[in-house]
Amino acid sequence: MKRSLSLVCMLASTLGVSALAQASAPSQTAAEPPSAPGVPTATAPAGPTKIAVIQFEAVVGQTNEGQRAFAELNTKYQPKQQQIKTASDEVDTLKKDLQTAGDKLSDAERQTRLRTIDEKEKTLQRNVEDARNDFSGEMNEKFSGIAQKVAGVMTQYAQQNGYTLVLDAGSQQQQQQSPILWAAESTNISEAVLQAYNKQSGVPAPPAGAAVPRPAATTTRPAPRTTTPRTTTTQH
């Protein structure tokens, strides 16, 4: 019973937007800057380097367009999730019946029931894996498409405000790997880019109380665009 229940829990954690939700508010740490293809690289202005940080994945997930896309995907997979739960409940019932019957069953009947349970569990496992892979593939595709557009808005915002470098803080799970130990909140442009993107996209905000989707850790961000390095002096 515990095994089949764990399969449903695993699927629910993958398919449910609520489990994927609650992307944290943009933080102060940073990693590497993404950039949208086709956006011209700005020439760094003379003077001190002006650096910004952004929690890129969180911004993509918190856009109105992102929330709508992931909510629609969750709705699409709800029937599959219910189907798998029903199959899991059936396996649990068969196991319970076998345990209740105890010594009343003949060896042949017991073996028959055990084979039936084993076959249904294997089918359930395959269905869970297939549904999880399908969901993750579609979610990553949606995230990548929105991420490319968010990167364009981010680049435009950085150029207009004189930033010469934007560092990606990544997700909360990635922050321990970030080379940035600390950054002032004044350098965080996450909220500004989020608002600029929502305004440009024209997608209305989701209803109050709706869960904020969070992209899977395997999602692909736009490849960073290289620029001509500038020599800066670092004080220790």
Tens digit of each residue's pLDDT (9 = 90 or more) over 12-41: 444 443 333 333 344 433 334 444 555 455
**CA atoms of 129 and 127, how far apart (whole Å):** 5
203-210: average pLDDT: 82
**Confidence class for position 212, pLDDT limits 50, 70, 90:** low
**Cβ-Cβ contacts under 8 Å for 70 (sequence gap 6 or more):** 17, 20, 61, 139, 142, 213, 215
Residue with token string 């896309």: 69
Instruction: Give the residue with greater pLDDT, 217 vs 144.
Output: 144
Q: Name the residue among 116, 93, 84 with its Cα closest to residue 7.
A: 84
What are the distances in angstroms from CA 183 to CA 31, 46, 71, 167, 232? 11, 23, 33, 10, 18
**pLDDT tens digits for 111-156?**
999 999 999 999 999 999 999 999 999 999 999 999 999 999 999 9
Is the Cα dihedral 161, 162, 168, 172 positive or negative? negative
pLDDT (0 to 100) of residue 76: 96
Question: What does the mean pLDDT of the chain come to?
Answer: 77
Helical packing angle, 107-160 and 2-15, nearest 10°:
20
**Confidence class for position 177, pLDDT limits 50, 70, 90:** low
168-184: average pLDDT: 71
What are the distances in angstroms from CA 172 to CA 44, 140, 166, 177? 30, 18, 18, 10
pLDDT higher than 80, residue 110: yes
**CA atoms of 149 and 66, how far apart (whole Å):** 11
Domain boundaries, the chain: 2-201
Helix (H, G, I), strand (E, B) or coil at 163: coil
φ/ψ of 53, rounded to 5, equals: -125, 155
φ/ψ of 164, rounded to 5, equals: -105, -10
**pLDDT tens digits for 51-72?**
999 999 999 999 999 999 999 9
80-97: average pLDDT: 96
Kindly report which listed range (32-36, 58-62, 183-187, 194-198) carries the lowest average pLDDT score. Answer: 32-36
∠ at Cα 138 (220, 190), nearest 5°?
45
Question: What percent of the chain lies above the pLDDT cut of 70?
Answer: 64
pLDDT higher than 80, residue 81: yes
Helix (H, G, I), strand (E, B) or coil at 224: coil
Instruction: Give the residue with greater pLDDT, 173 vs 74.
Output: 74
pLDDT (0 to 100) of residue 48: 76
The helix (H) or strand (E) run that includes residue 108 is helix 107-160
**Confidence class for position 9, pLDDT limits 50, 70, 90:** very low
198-207: average pLDDT: 94
∠ at Cα 194 (223, 225), nearest 5°?
20
pLDDT (0 to 100) of residue 170: 73
